[in-house]
Chains A and B, each alone.
Chain A
Amino acid sequence: MMKLSLGPILWFWSKQTVFDFYANAAEWPVDTIYLGEAVCSRRRELKPDDWFDLARDLKACGKQVVLSTQTLIESEADLRRLRRICDQGEFMVETNDQSALQVAIQNDIPFVTGPSMNIYNVATLKVLAKQGLKGWNLPVELGRETLGELIKGLQEEGLDLPAEVFAWGFLPLAWSSRCFTARHYNLPKDNCEFRCLEHPDGMELRSRESQELFRLNGISTLSGSRYDLMRELPDMARMGVSTVRLSPEHQGMDEVVRRFDQVRHDEIPATDPLQLVEAPPCNGYWYGKPGMELVTA
């Protein structure tokens, strides 16, 4: 049975919102939950110990928990937080950059790689497998054809490295040292007033023809359309994909999970997941096309 995972929350939510979200998620039919701040070093509503406590609670509810690291590591303080995550010794770590790889390898802990790690070929997977890699995410810009070749290549090498695919949500596309939310408010990044808290689904960036292009989310830029591979699940199962990742949104996530759960049990829902935050769907990357496009059967 294909597994469902909840990726790390990519937005900035209040501590209570995060706790409420996971209190609900504990009841959802997801197998794996990724926890932690993967985007911005200034987002500290939850301290590392809060995340670890949450991880234990969710583990007690039967979830596999993985701790995610920050994607863009820039400062010594970032490295300290990274080491805290890799030193905890209880949970698997999702490495989201090469700094995390180094610390995980040094600590000799098992790790998986997140979608921002550049895994484009089997040779790369072989290198990391020797160093403790236990699973990997397909980079978001890669599609079905390359995934198929990667899985086939792993089989030929006799490597058992489960593949995870980002299958629902706004795609994380870029990270910067600059903060685009602070820029919008004409605030310096270091005194941003935590305005991201006012945008639990990011800020829409549109072309001057009102085309939804991106979502600004602090230092990160996400897709303006929502990636949705729900209807590809049966195909992914045949290909040997181990897990599909759903990226948290603060509303309607229970329904999204429920429908993906139905599909993995071979019940195809009549409609696509409820979309409480309005955004057009896309699936272009899966078909080797521009990511923003929607290919319909």
Chain B
Amino acid sequence: MELVCPAGSLPALKTAVDNGADAVYLGFRDSTNARQFAGLNFNDKRAAEGIDYAHQRGARVFCAINTYPQPSGWELWKGAVDRAASLGVDAIILADMGLLDYAASRHPDIPRHLSVQGSATSYEALSFYKNTFDIRRAVLPRVLSLDQVRGVAKHSPVELEVFAFGSLCIMAEGRCYLSSYLTDESPNTRGACSPAKAVRWQETPQGLESRLNEVLIDRYGQGESAGYPTLCKGRFEVEGNVYHAIEEPVSLNTLDLVPELQALGISAVKIEGRQRSPAYIADVARTWRQALDNLTAHPDNFSVEPEWRNTLSGLSEGGLTTLGAYHRKWK
């Protein structure tokens, strides 16, 4: 299985490659990709440098253009596809059908990967994308259980990439409009969920409050660690109870599932987090490289080293990790 790591900047890209990534994925410095953060992502010059660096060391580079262009943005998004092509990326990660069509007809030789934002949760959906746009690979949404991944993998007409580690979306990706409902930006439209521009922190007599477009997302008592106010991870009131009504702030970690994912024929594991620092990327990439190498060396006797687990726990939201939907404890 290939290790696919995030690169939000040139230093992060180099770090990922140096620490064992088989491939890295990056985006341009605008809203054409699903991690639009101030100071993050690549202009053409940086991208060219990064692609050079990776290629010289045998790593591949994927370019994510995985938001949904509206008519007013069509030229910008189309231009991003052309730029990725002329930079010589190894694949373009796309979600929008219009752009997939454009990429397939204009740049047929550059492999197309279906982004997780393309919301393909079944092999029938994958067949649609394969038949219509000849995609080579698809990234599966994080809503499927391991059993369901097995079902998809068995009949999949394309290579599959699954999320292995990082922030966890519990809504079917590509069709979650919660962020644009509270703010005016969503992953689909602007590549942003719970955008930083709408976040406000405030110390109050009741505790530290996090707000998103003035909506109270969470309030932290003394000794509680505060997290970024991703709106689905706040504490809300439902019928008189205040709790994490949608999801706790935890991270996805699938180290334990690596042998099963390999047995299912999954082609690649993906690390989330283009918004993360190079130091974070170094730790995660190195740990996963060791795990995958260990699996290759001992396919029948793989076990998760405590050190790997400690490293990854330390890098997780609230120090907590979960197998997410793969293992349905909550089911």
Contacts and interface: CB of A to CB of B under 8 A. Distances in A.
Interface of A: 71-76, 78-79, 82, 97-99, 101-103, 105, 116, 118, 120-124, 126-128, 131, 139-142, 145-146, 149-150, 153, 171, 173-178, 180, 183-184, 188-190, 203-211, 213-214, 216, 221, 223, 284-285, 288-292
B242 A208 contact: yes
Contacts of A180: 245-246
B315 interface: no
B216 A99 contact: no
B199 interface: no
A290 B74 contact: no
Contacts of A124: 96-98, 101
B143 A72 contact: yes
A289 B132 CA distance: 34
B245 A207 contact: no
A261 to B, nearest CB: 28
Given A122-B71, A177-B325, A74 B121 contact: yes
Among A120, A131, A149, A176, max chain B CB count under 10 A is at: A120
B96 A285 contact: no
Given A78-B122, A121-B98, A205 B242 contact: no
B74 A123 contact: yes
A129 B3 CA distance: 38
Interface stretch (B15-23, B47-55, B184-192, B281-289): B184-192
Nearest to B143: A177
28 contacts: A71-B175, A73-B121, A73-B122, A74-B121, A76-B151, A79-B124, A82-B124, A99-B124, A102-B131, A118-B95, A118-B96, A120-B98, A124-B96, A127-B132, A142-B70, A146-B71, A174-B177, A177-B172, A178-B325, A178-B330, A203-B238, A204-B238, A208-B236, A208-B242, A211-B215, A213-B236, A221-B178, A291-B180
Contacts of A126: 98, 101
Contacts of A174: 171-172, 175-178, 232
A171 B177 contact: yes
Contacts of A211: 215-216
A274 to B, nearest CB: 24
Task: Report, as a range, how many residues of chain B touch the other chain.
Answer: 35 or more
A204 B72 CA distance: 36
Given A102-B128, A105-B128, 8 more contacts: A99-B125, A120-B98, A175-B171, A178-B325, A184-B238, A188-B330, A205-B245, A205-B246
Nearest to B70: A146
A99 B184 contact: no
B25 interface: no
A185 to B, nearest CB: 10
A153 B219 contact: no
Q: Name A's interface SS.
A: mixed
Contact of B186 (A101, A116, A141, A292): A141
Nearest to A290: B184
Contact of A221 (B70, B237, B246): B246
B237 A150 contact: no
Contacts of B68: 118, 120-121
Interface string B237-255: 1110110011100000000
Given A141-B189, A174-B176, A102 B245 contact: no
A98 B118 CA distance: 9
A102 B96 CA distance: 16
A74 B148 contact: yes
Contacts of A121: 68-71, 74, 96, 98
Interface in B276-321: none
Contacts of B270: none
A209 B176 CA distance: 24
Residue from the set A153, A178, A206, A288 with the largest chain B CB neighbour count within 10 Å:
A178
Contact of B124 (A103, A118, A208): A103
Interface string B145-186: 100100100000000000000000011101111101111101
B170 A102 contact: no
Nearest to B125: A98
A141 B124 CA distance: 26
Given A116-B175, A142-B70, A208-B219, A102 B325 contact: no
Contacts of B148: 74-75
Contact of B125 (A102, A149, A171): A102
B236 A206 contact: yes
A286 B138 CA distance: 33
A206 B237 contact: yes
B7 interface: no
Nearest to A184: B238
